[in-house]
A and B are shown apart, each in its own frame.
Chain A
Amino acid sequence: MRKKKGFVEILTTFFLLVVMVGVAIAFVGFNKGFLVIQHKVNDELSDFTTSHIVREKLTSCFGIVMDPDNITALKCRDDNLLEVDLLANMIHSFYINQTDHYNCKDMDWEWTAPNAIASAESEYHYYVPIRNKTHNLVCMGELTIRI
């Protein structure tokens, strides 16, 4: 009778240990899932913010620049080159298409960060004004930021 009782205790203990391990595994699994989701959320939030910052930096230039007949580089308000080093640490690349709109020509500009190795994970699209000095127009530009 005593032996039987000891067996039941061991069996119960074993069973409870199995349950505990199962629950622990589930807990770790769930938490890992949660962490993945959180990580992704934080990444997206970060990408949104980055795209906003980059867009603002770029549009502050586009509002002033772009002489489509003489494009050698993206230039900013004060005719200094855009601080590409700064962008290089923030984004993978960006692409601008000046759409065929009224007198504006269909033209493209593309820039990729010098140290970009992996491919971009996110893309953000904006319409931006591009001032055309030659014809005194503000052209429609499609800006694609890849992060």
Chain B
Amino acid sequence: MAMVDNIVTGILVALIFIAAGFIFFQTQTKQNIERLEQKQMFFLHDNLEVDVDSFLLFTENDTHKDFATLISYAIYRRRDNFSVFDPLDPDKAINITKEINYTLTKMFGTGNFFLNITPEIYDIGISFILDGSDSLTAERDQLRADLVSIVTSALIGDRTILVSVYIISQDDSKCTDFATEVATLNSIGPEVQALCTVIHGDHDTGDAGEAGRCMYPTIYDEVDSFKSLYEIYPPYDFGGHNKTERAWFTFYEADWAAGTAYSIGKSDEGGMARVNLHFPMAGELSTGSAGDECYTGEDFVYSDERTLCNFCNITCIDNGVVDTDEENRSWNIVQKAINIAVDKNQVICPIFAWNANYYTPTADPAYDAAWDLWVSIYNSLYNPTPNIVEDADSSLCEAPGCACTGDRFHVGYHPECINEVKWQMQQMADDTDGIYSELATPADISTAVQNAVDTYKEPYKIVIGEYDGDREQLVYEKNIPMPVGTDFVKMYLHVYQ
């Protein structure tokens, strides 16, 4: 019996050792398998990382730029169809999304990946550049009425909004009209900052403190070097190329392109996290649609005469070409505004306000006569069946081709320039990825601005492929630096297994 007991005990001991060994090996193997799985996962992630890093280094054929650069440009410029070498040359444009899709499909296969590059917008800048003359009074009033609701509609999360109203005028009291709205916006909280500034066209106010408020370079401009850098000079350079000289005529009130350049120059650099929208509003060529002689002549007898100067002269030729002196005068400064906007990544959303309410004519007979003549030209060109009879007793109405009819309250200068003004505004919008709008009535201003704000308050995304949460997938996250500044945009690439 003792022998049996010994054997049984021995077997039990052996079994314990065997079980212990079994458990030991099983644990070891299990750990090794877990290590393998971890290593496999690491390997797959590393593999994807290598693939994606390689993808970002591959160069696109036409631009010779790598995909990391192209993606950062696309996000920065808010467009996937552009030329890297010359942002304004559509002939050299490439479609970034198409190129990325082509390459990733080649690497991972059709439907096997999902690319998501969605920057976050933290700040929005909204700037209005308004002609300070009476012709835009109704539009300014309308903007004032809608300003608070437009701004609050763009408030999302922690986003900050900077609202700037620039009124081009020599009259500093113009901003008092906006005082209530500015105060209301500033009372919302630290996320909203609003200001109204009157910007001047003269250079010799003699006060260094005023220099920063002039849209042209002045001798005091040590800070606003962009004015000289982009040559934002007045159109008339009298005597000795003295850029501080001011023309006699108050052209600057209508120089909305210089005002836009000023607004852009004063704004922070745009980028992934910041969108700056600039809304110039006008119905004339920048610097005005009147002929050059109106800016240099000093022989006007009546004060209103100079305003109506050149009504009978055609200053624009509606042929789709910038060819007259007046068209060139405007186009010159418009191009400069475009250049500074492209360089600083700003968006211009011009608003064409043709039916501007001009001020009520005075009782001055010479003024009325000139006015009637101009109204007749307007009607003969653009309103063949006028329904309002206007001051029929003017002798100037006897001029050939003139009929004294029209609605003096809903007209603008030089109707023959309408298409040229529209074209130049459209160029501004096209070259800066902005939105061009036309106002049928002043009430449309809210819709025009709201439309642009709604479009740009959302970030510009590059999304390729379909997201499928049910499929097993690896996700690779990569920070891509922006071409300007210190911002990064996060790129997420999901590769389905």
- Identify the A interface with B (CB < 8 A): 9, 12-13, 16-17, 19-20, 23-24, 27, 30-31, 34-35, 37-38, 41-42, 44-45, 48, 52, 55, 59, 63, 99, 101-103, 124-129, 136-141
- Report chain A residues within 8 Å CB of B46: 52
Task: Evaluate whether A41 and B25 lie within 8 angstroms (CB atoms) in the complex, with A126-B47, A129-B54 already known.
Answer: no
Per-position 1/0 for B249-262, Cβ under 8 A of A: 00000000000000
Q: What's the interface size class on B, roughly?
A: 35 or more
Q: How far is the CB of B8 from chain A (nearest CB, A)?
A: 6
> Please, how many angstroms separate the alpha-carbon atoms of A63 and B36 in the complex?
30
A12 and B4 within 8 A (CB): yes
Does B1 have its Cβ within 8 Å of any Cβ on chain A?
Answer: yes
CB nearest neighbor in A for B56: A129
A45 and B35 within 8 A (CB): yes
Q: How far is the CB of A44 from chain B (nearest CB, A)?
A: 6
Task: Evaluate whether A48 and B43 lie within 8 angstroms (CB atoms) in the complex, with A41-B35, A136-B64, A140-B106 already known.
Answer: yes
Per-position 1/0 for B17-35, Cβ under 8 A of A: 0100110011011001101
Task: Evaluate whether A9 and B1 lie within 8 angstroms (CB atoms) in the complex, with A41-B36, A126-B51, A139-B58 already known.
Answer: yes
Q: How far is the CB of B480 from chain A (nearest CB, A)?
A: 16
- Identify the B interface with A (CB < 8 A): 1, 3-4, 7-8, 11, 14-15, 18, 21-22, 25-26, 28-29, 32-33, 35-36, 39-40, 43, 46-47, 50-51, 54-55, 57-61, 64, 66, 103, 106-107
Contact of B28 among A23, A34, A99, A125 (CB under 8 A): A34
CB nearest neighbor in B for A40: B36
Contact of B61 among A27, A55, A103 (CB under 8 A): A103
CB nearest neighbor in B for A103: B61
Task: Evaluate whether A101 and B26 lie within 8 angstroms (CB atoms) in the complex, with A126-B51, A138-B59 already known.
Answer: no
- Report chain B residues within 8 Å CB of A19: 11
A to B CB contacts below 8 Å, 17 in the list: A12-B4, A23-B14, A24-B14, A34-B25, A41-B35, A42-B32, A44-B40, A45-B39, A59-B50, A99-B106, A126-B51, A127-B54, A128-B50, A136-B64, A138-B57, A138-B58, A139-B58
Q: How far is the CB of A45 from chain B (nearest CB, A)?
A: 5
A23 and B58 within 8 A (CB): no
- Report chain B residues within 8 Å CB of A48: 39-40, 43
- Report chain A residues within 8 Å CB of B3: 9, 13
Q: How far is the CB of A120 from chain B (nearest CB, A)?
A: 17
Excluding A35-B25, A41-B32, A45-B36, 17 further A-B contacts by CB distance (< 8 Å) are A9-B1, A9-B4, A13-B7, A20-B15, A24-B14, A27-B18, A34-B26, A37-B32, A44-B39, A55-B50, A103-B61, A127-B51, A128-B50, A136-B59, A140-B55, A140-B106, A140-B107
Task: Evaluate whether A13 and B4 lie within 8 angstroms (CB atoms) in the complex, with A31-B25, A129-B57, A138-B58 already known.
Answer: yes
- Report chain B residues within 8 Å CB of A103: 61
Majority secondary structure, B binding face: helix
CB nearest neighbor in A for B43: A48
> Please, how many angstroms separate the alpha-carbon atoms of A100 and B4 in the complex?
79
- Report chain A residues within 8 Å CB of B64: 136-137
CB nearest neighbor in A for B108: A127
Q: How far is the CB of B452 from chain A (nearest CB, A)?
A: 37
CB nearest neighbor in B for A51: B43
Q: How far is the CB of A123 from chain B (nearest CB, A)?
A: 12
- Report chain B residues within 8 Å CB of A136: 59, 64
Q: How far is the CB of A50 from chain B (nearest CB, A)?
A: 11
Task: Evaluate whether A37 and B60 lie within 8 angstroms (CB atoms) in the complex, with A23-B18, A27-B18, A128-B54 already known.
Answer: no
Contact of B58 among A13, A42, A129 (CB under 8 A): A129
Majority secondary structure, A binding face: helix
- Report chain B residues within 8 Å CB of A44: 36, 39-40
Q: How far is the CB of B477 from chain A (nearest CB, A)?
A: 18
CB nearest neighbor in A for B55: A127
A37 and B29 within 8 A (CB): yes
- Report chain B residues within 8 Å CB of A140: 54-55, 58, 103, 106-107
B103 and A27 within 8 A (CB): no
Contact of A16 among B11, B25, B33, B61 (CB under 8 A): B11
A137 and B59 within 8 A (CB): yes
Q: How far is the CB of A96 from chain B (nearest CB, A)?
A: 12
- Report chain A residues within 8 Å CB of B15: 20, 23
B66 and A138 within 8 A (CB): yes
Task: Evaluate whether A24 and B32 lie within 8 angstroms (CB atoms) in the complex, with A127-B107, A129-B57, A140-B106 already known.
Answer: no
> Please, how many angstroms separate the alpha-carbon atoms of A34 and B21 in the complex?
11
A30 and B25 within 8 A (CB): yes
Q: How far is the CB of A52 from chain B (nearest CB, A)?
A: 7
Q: How far is the CB of B163 from chain A (nearest CB, A)?
A: 45
> Please, how many angstroms separate the alpha-carbon atoms of A27 and B20 in the complex?
10
Q: How far is the CB of B263 from chain A (nearest CB, A)?
A: 40
> Please, how many angstroms separate the alpha-carbon atoms of A27 and B39 in the complex?
29
- Report chain A residues within 8 Å CB of B1: 9
> Please, how many angstroms separate the alpha-carbon atoms of A59 and B59 in the complex?
16
> Please, how many angstroms separate the alpha-carbon atoms of A20 and B12 in the complex?
9
> Please, how many angstroms separate the alpha-carbon atoms of A37 and B7 in the complex?
34
Q: How far is the CB of B19 from chain A (nearest CB, A)?
A: 9
- Report chain B residues within 8 Å CB of A139: 58-59
